Chains A and B, each alone.
Chain A
Amino acid sequence: MATSTAVLPPRKKPRQWRRSASPYMYLVPAFIVMAVITVYPLLYQVWMSFTDFGLKNFNQANKVPPNFVGLDNYVRIAGSKLQIPNFEFPRLILFNLWWAFSNVVIHVVLGVLVAVLLNTKGLLFRGFYRALFILPVVIPPLIVATVWRNMFTPDGGAINYFLQAIGGVFGIPSDAPGLNLDWLRQPDDPIPFIPLPLAYFAMLTANTWLGWPLNSVVATGALQSIPGDLYEAAEMDGANWWQKFRTVTIPFLRPAMLPYAIYGFVITFNLFVLSYFMTGGEPFGRTEILVTQAYRLVNERQLYGVAAAFCVYLFFLLLAVTLVTNKLAKATKSYAD
């Protein structure tokens, strides 16, 4: 120790310089990589969004610069004037928002309910159930989506067989139309006054299976941090189950669940696999979400300029969603936080 302090003074100057420079030394490698493969592509995308970039501009041997078209791509998207079938921009946005919202609500409610259920004192086999319920989390979502697609397929899928088995109990013949649903393609809405196709409910089922267990994990963590005395105090005041849940459990769950719900919203909003692999956007593009539509514009239509403008819209929409949800989370913050 003594020696090092003795040596220190003459080295002080270069050392200080190195101190202040070193943060940037640590950042530089990652930032060079990100500049090339993240920031540059994003800026390029913005430039492309003002052009008619298409397949002709992709040609390596014979490069043609794309034409500058100003805001044309943006105007055509907003006015749903693209030369592709079943494209309605406002409907797409509304469906995507509703898709994310409905899923998150179901995930959070189910997740909390199961977590509360599993937190019951004296319940047998709790550990077994907790281990089992993690199953949907550990299977890759891509595979989950394809498996659920097969389960909902009318020709040999499990869901219709399941409905027929239940129908059989009530003596309904297995070839009744209500028990042989064309889940993924049926064009008519199942509930007359709700403009959502049957495929949406199929996707919702699959994503519910996929999504609630992780919420349950988060809720359990929060539940176990609640001091038992609070419940005892509430019991002494004569509170019933619901009152205890409302006044003790919920205030403690909020700070853990809210940020996760916001994040879940963004994840579900961009959940590519279910829409793409399960319904493929059927029927008539009505279960398409923004990311799958963007991918189709790139991959199937080769409308790169339009797709770029589409991604810029997507970016601002995500930004708005994040800002609004964050604001809501703050505005509804309770004193318990």
Chain B
Amino acid sequence: MSGLDNVRRGRDLTPYFRFGRRAGPRRRHEDEKPLPLGRQIALQLILIGISFTVLFPVLWIFSISVDSRGLFRPDGLNLIPPSVTLDAYTKVLTQPTSNPISFWGLAFNSLKIATLSSFIAVLFGITAAYAFSRLHFRGREALMIGILGVLMLPAVATITPLYILLNQFHIEFGSLSFNLRASLLGVSLAIVSSQLPFAIWNLKGYLDTIPKDLEEAGAVDGASQNQIFTKIVLPLATPAIAVTGFLGFLGGWTEYIVTYMFIHGTVNDWTLSVALNSMVGQFARNTPWSEFAAFAILFAVPVSVVFFVFQRYLVGGLAVGGVKG
């Protein structure tokens, strides 16, 4: 799988994002002779067509969400609504489903799962990634293949044992008393099961690209292994930690499989993804599409905007498992 490294490194993908002003260094290589007009128009037409297919679902959902007629079901292919209202958003923010929990409540639960699981995964992942990237020890290759193997397994492969395992713990902490399985903490721990291998793999990939010179210089100056790690490697790896953390966050933010199985009985612990599922499918005959659309947009926008802004750094990592089901 060593060839995978070509894909996952942001390095190889950066030319894709080198457009507009940033095109600088490449410009002198390609003598930009203008295309013949006919061909330019033909290509532009093709690209406009592709743009339309890419944009259509987004525009469609957006126009349903703001349509002032409060569409229960759209009655035609109107991408531009007659007039605009934010009623659907207001409704969804106060109570998106028939259950007494607001959008903010759901979002806060998703936020807890996403933050906690990605934090734990990165915290434990970074030291392991450092060992795999820099230190020589017996069984390194075999362990790394093992981690890759676990990384490829779908989440459903460990879900029942995790349920049983976490169900045995009853947490008593001051006034708090809860079953670990039926809690957001338990869900986060279960999600770490698939996020930790990804974090190790992704962080190792980045650490491999950092030149060893600085660490060698540190070693010559008498720094211990721990000092090299905390004073040299960690600061250099900060962007990688941020990227891995965000990709883990993204997984936790939209996690459904574990969350639904562990906590769907407790409405107060519902997350955005569990609520979204109750707005589509066979339970959703009574959900107006305007509300579904507004909910989907509110759900997607925070992470999508961050992703869009930092895409140069994120896409490489995504190629390896950010989209784990």
In contact, A22 and B225 (Cβ under 8 angstroms): yes
Q: Indicate whether A162 reaches chain B with its CB closer than 8 angstroms.
A: yes
In contact, B35 and A214 (Cβ under 8 angstroms): no
In contact, B167 and A221 (Cβ under 8 angstroms): no
In contact, B308 and A134 (Cβ under 8 angstroms): yes
- The interface residues of chain A lying within 8 Å CB-to-CB of B192 are 33, 37
- The interface residues of chain B lying within 8 Å CB-to-CB of A83 are none
Total interface residues on A, using CB and 8 Å? Answer: 109
In contact, A307 and B54 (Cβ under 8 angstroms): no
Q: Give the nearest-CB partner of B305 in chain A.
A: A138
Q: Indicate whether B130 reaches chain A with its CB closer than 8 angstroms.
A: yes
Please provide the chain A residues from 240 to 265 with a CB less than 8 Å away from any CB of chain B in the complex.
Answer: 255-256, 258-260, 263
- The interface residues of chain B lying within 8 Å CB-to-CB of A143 are 254, 276, 296, 299-300
B46-70 interface bits toward A, Cβ cutoff 8 Å, 1 = contact, 0 = none: 1100110111111011000000000
**Beyond A122-B40, A256-B12, A259-B7, is A322–B152 a contact (Cβ under 8 Å)?**
yes
Q: Indicate whether A41 reaches chain B with its CB closer than 8 angstroms.
A: yes
**Beyond A221-B13, A266-B152, is A33–B196 a contact (Cβ under 8 Å)?**
yes
**Beyond A45-B157, A142-B254, A148-B57, is A299–B260 a contact (Cβ under 8 Å)?**
yes
In contact, A120 and B35 (Cβ under 8 angstroms): yes
CA distance A218 to B260 in the complex (A): 34
In contact, A140 and B250 (Cβ under 8 angstroms): yes
**Beyond A31-B128, A259-B1, A272-B257, is A147–B61 a contact (Cβ under 8 Å)?**
yes
**Beyond A134-B308, A140-B300, A217-B16, is A318–B152 a contact (Cβ under 8 Å)?**
yes
In contact, B44 and A124 (Cβ under 8 angstroms): yes
CA distance A53 to B161 in the complex (A): 11
Q: Indicate whether A328 reaches chain B with its CB closer than 8 angstroms.
A: no
Q: Give the nearest-CB partner of A321 in chain B.
A: B152
CA distance A308 to B54 in the complex (A): 39
Q: Give the nearest-CB partner of A311 in chain B.
A: B157
- The interface residues of chain B lying within 8 Å CB-to-CB of A213 are 54
Q: Indicate whether B234 reaches chain A with its CB closer than 8 angstroms.
A: no
- The interface residues of chain B lying within 8 Å CB-to-CB of A60 are 167
Q: Indicate whether A38 reaches chain B with its CB closer than 8 angstroms.
A: yes
CB distance from A308 to the nearest CB of B (A): 7
Q: Indicate whether B76 reaches chain A with its CB closer than 8 angstroms.
A: yes
Of A74-82, A87-95, A100-108, A150-158, which binds chain B?
A150-158
CA distance A221 to B225 in the complex (A): 36
Most buried by B among A37, A129, A131, A308: A37
Task: For B325, give its contact among A124, A149, A271, A307 (CB under 8 Å).
Answer: A271
CB distance from A320 to the nearest CB of B (A): 12
Q: Indicate whether B205 reaches chain A with its CB closer than 8 angstroms.
A: no
Q: Give the nearest-CB partner of A295 in chain B.
A: B156
**Beyond A58-B164, A121-B33, A131-B19, is A291–B154 a contact (Cβ under 8 Å)?**
yes
CA distance A136 to B303 in the complex (A): 13
In contact, B124 and A30 (Cβ under 8 angstroms): yes
Interface residues on B, range: 35 or more
Most buried by B among A38, A255, A308: A38
Q: Indicate whether B74 reaches chain A with its CB closer than 8 angstroms.
A: yes
Q: Give the nearest-CB partner of A228 in chain B.
A: B29
CA distance A130 to B58 in the complex (A): 17
Q: Give the nearest-CB partner of B222 in chain A.
A: A4
Q: Indicate whether B270 reaches chain A with its CB closer than 8 angstroms.
A: no
CA distance A142 to B15 in the complex (A): 29
CA distance A245 to B165 in the complex (A): 55
CA distance A48 to B7 in the complex (A): 37
Q: Give the nearest-CB partner of A164 in chain B.
A: B77
A174-212 interface bits toward B, Cβ cutoff 8 Å, 1 = contact, 0 = none: 000000000000000000000000000000000001000
In contact, B165 and A41 (Cβ under 8 angstroms): yes
CB distance from A90 to the nearest CB of B (A): 20
Q: Indicate whether B81 reaches chain A with its CB closer than 8 angstroms.
A: no
Known: A30-B127, A123-B40. 8 other contacts (CB 8 A): A29-B127, A29-B128, A38-B150, A137-B311, A225-B15, A228-B29, A256-B12, A272-B155
6 examples of A-B residue contacts, CB within 8 angstroms: A23-B136, A147-B60, A147-B61, A270-B325, A307-B160, A319-B149
